[in-house]
Every structure is written in structure tokens, then in C-alpha cells.
Amino acid sequence: EVQLVQSGTEVKKPGESLKISCKSSGYSFTSYWIGWVRQKPGKGLEYMGIISLGDSDTTYSPSFQGQVTISADKSITTAYLQWSSLKASDTAMYYCAKLGDNSEAFAIWGQGTTVIVSS
Amino acid sequence: QSALTQPPSASGSPGQSVTISCTGTSSDVGGYKYVSWYQQHPGKAPKLMIYEVSKRPSGVPDRFSGSKSGNTASLTVSGLQAEDEADYYCNSYAGSNNFVFGTGTKVTVL
């Protein structure tokens, strides 16, 4: 069974850096795509960007370009989302999700990582 | 890249049907067959319900169906059940490895 397990809740101060993770397991292929999705409290889903675990090819949503960095380590089947300088407005739940095989849909989701940025 | 437009809410009695629309543009919904729908219960991660406009993943009841006409996609839940009460989001591929979500619709089972 394919699973995505995300790192735990983070509480940070404005200006701090952060890197959260999404580890995949139970999938035998080495090349697949993991996307990141933001959900602010009480709000909808926002697509942030996507990365290929096979060659780290990355695309950012225009709304998030330059705001975050998406990376991956194929050897440990883990994708990352990082900030160099957090803002209070980054407070949200962040989900990673795996694109389905041969379909442009997010078939498997992680449990989410809560990020709280507060002084 | 603007969010796809969904009605904020929809409701129906048990056993009835409810249809949710998702309106985009020719650059997303109208341009690709890659429209998907997600169900999200409070405090839970989203779950894929429909992909490629009208296909159901294994395990999703056939009460859920999808369609598309032009720049508007639709999700219909037939035979509403209490457990269908949730938020629903559409999503469309928008080219060049970009995707866009809908604004979300809260479905209430009366």
C-alpha cells in the first residue's frame, strides 16, 4: 500500500527557516510526482508546486514561485518543502500528495503538517 | 492563475442528488481532460473521488459521478448519505505541470 507520511507540527517565529518532509513508501517505481498543497485555517486548497522524485524536476505555481523551495531525496523517497524566512501568513496546514499513475490527479495524500508562525 | 469557481454550498436530503459545478477557462477545465474531485471531511486530508472528469478510483461508490461541458465540470452525488457531508474541491490540470483547485463547496445533508 502506497503511503505518504509527513513530518510533525511546527511552531516557529517570523523570520525563521523551516523544512518539512513527506516520505513515501510502498511504491515500487522510482519516478513519480509529489505535489504540495496549502490550506489556510478555514480556507480552501491551494496548489503550490510539484516535484519528480526521479530527477527532481520541479514546477512552482506562479503564486508560490520564490516564496518556497521544493526539493527531494530520491534515495530516501522523501520530498521537502522549505521556507527561508517564515511569515505569519504562512500559518497553514500543508499536504503532500502523489500524482496517480497515468493520471493527472492527486491519488494519495499525506496526513498533513501544521505550520504555525507566531511571535 | 485564478481558482476555479464553485458554489460555496449545496445541500440535499438523504436519498436525493446534489450537483456541484466547477467553472474555469479554456486554459484549464476547458483545455484538458484532467479534472478531478476531492472530498474533505473536517480535520482530515482530502480524498480523491473522481479523476479524468468521470473516472472513479477503486473503492469510491458509484453514487459519485463526474462530467464536463466546455469550461465547466460537475460532480453529482446521487442517493445522498449522511457520510457524504463534507467539503468538495475540484481540480484541473492547467498545463506545464501546473494545477488549480476550485474554491470549494460545503455539502450539507439535511
Convert the pLDDT of each residue in B6-36 to its tens digit: 999 999 999 999 999 999 999 999 999 999 9
What's the mean pLDDT in A8-31? 92
Contact B60, B49 (CB under 8 A): yes
Helix (H, G, I), strand (E, B) or coil at B27: coil
Q: Tell me which residue of B55, B69, B83 sits closest to B21, measured CA to CA.
A: B69
Q: Is the pLDDT of residue B103 over 90?
A: yes
C-alpha cell belonging to residue B99: 494545477
**Res A100: pLDDT:** 87
CA angle at B96 for the pair B90 and B97, rounded to the nearest 5°: 55
Which residue matches cell numbers 505541470?
A: B97
**pLDDT 10s digits, B35-46:** 999 999 999 999
Written as one letter, the residue type at A116 is I
B34:A59 CB<8 A: no
Residue of A nearest to B91 (CA): A105
pLDDT of residue A26: 86
pLDDT at A83: 98
pLDDT at B47: 98
CB contact under 8 A, B91 and A47: yes
Q: Are B91 and B35 in contact (CB under 8 A)?
A: yes
Which residue of A lies nearest to B6 if distances are taken between CA atoms? A44
The share of chain B scoring above pLDDT 90, in percent, equals: 99
Per-window interface: A 64-103 vs B, CB < 8 A: 95, 97, 100, 103
pLDDT band for A27, please (50, 70, 90 cuts). confident
Do residues A51 and A61 make contact, with C-beta atoms less than 8 angstroms apart?
A: no
Cβ-defined contact of B98 to A46 (cutoff 8 Å) = no
Per-residue model confidence as pLDDT tens digits over B69-88: 999 999 999 999 999 999 99
Q: How far apart are CA A21 and CA A44, in angstroms?
A: 22
CA distance A21 to chain B (A): 16
Query: In angstroms, rounded to a whole number, what is the distance separating the alpha carbons of residues A84 and A75?
Result: 24
Residue A28 has pLDDT above 90, yes or no: no
A-B CB pairs within 8 A amount to: 73
Residue A29 scores a pLDDT above 90? no
Give CA–CA dist A61/A71, Å, rounded: 15
- Asked whether the beta carbons of residue B104 and residue A44 sit closer than 8 angstroms, the reply is yes
Q: What is the pLDDT of residues A62-109, one digit of tens each?
A: 999 999 999 999 999 999 999 999 999 999 999 999 998 878 999 999
**Do residues B4 and B103 make contact, with C-beta atoms less than 8 angstroms apart?**
yes
Q: What's the Cα-to-Cα distance from B31 to each of A44, A50, A60, B73, B92, rounded to whole Å?
A: 23, 20, 20, 12, 9
> Which pLDDT score, from 0 to 100, does residue A93 have?
98
